[in-house]
A and B are shown apart, each in its own frame.
Chain A
Amino acid sequence: QSVLTQPPSVSASPGQTVTISCSGTSSNIGNNYVSWYQQVPGTAPKLLIYHNNKRPSGIPDRISGSRSGTSATLGIAGLQIGDEADYYCGTWDDSLRATVFGGGTKLTVL
């Protein structure tokens, strides 16, 4: 059971917008930056969002992140077939003194 809670799966059609939630507590999301990672099957995870809402170089602006209280959200607009992947949130937990990840959300683009 993961410290951060994500929905197991989401789906949407090409061109649509999808959001993926990540729920935590005051000791993790509520007090630390949140990151989001994309993992295409068979490949290593890739950083999509850091510091709650910043995009690394090369990540398009149709990818967005936000944090409110003890929850965070990843948004992907203008969905493409290539967006099909597993998505993970992650942050530091002050109580556990550990990096914690969500259980992952499988995005299906129908």
Chain B
Amino acid sequence: EVQLVESGGGLVQPGGSLRLSCAASGFTFRTYNMNWVRQAPGKGLEWVSFISGGGGSIYYAESVKGRFTISRDNDRNSVYLQMNSLRDEDTALYYCTRVPDNEPGGDYWGQGTLVTVSS
């Protein structure tokens, strides 16, 4: 059974940093691309970042470029999102998703981890 479990969310002040983790199981992790997708309270889905299976291709949404860094550890079956210079508008539930080729949103989603940016 495919499982994605996010962690690392919490309350942080504007300008602060957080590192999100997503632990994957139930599939051959290194053969799949991965996304982070977020959802602000009461709002729609917003794609944040993509990383290919080998880590060689990485993309970011314009809204986070230069502030967020995606990475993965295929030995630990995990993907990470380092978030720096956090803003109020980064407050959201952050999901990691498994991304098969040509399925850019993701076929499996975790339950999400909540990031709240507030003073």
Contacts and interface: CB of A to CB of B under 8 A. Distances in A.
Nearest to A36: B105
Interface string B89-119: 0000001000010111111111110000000
Contact of A100 (B47, B100, B103, B111): B47
A101 B44 contact: yes
Contact of B44 (A51, A98, A103): A103
Nearest to A35: B105
Given A2-B44, A99-B35, A99-B47, A90 B104 contact: yes
B105 A98 contact: no
Interface residues of A, number: 27
A65 interface: no
B11 interface: no
A44 B104 contact: no
B115 to A, nearest CB: 16
Most buried by B among A50, A96, A102: A50
A33 B104 CA distance: 9
Which 6 pairs of residues, A with B, have the shortest CB-CB distance?
A: A90-B105, A99-B47, A99-B104, A92-B104, A104-B44, A44-B109
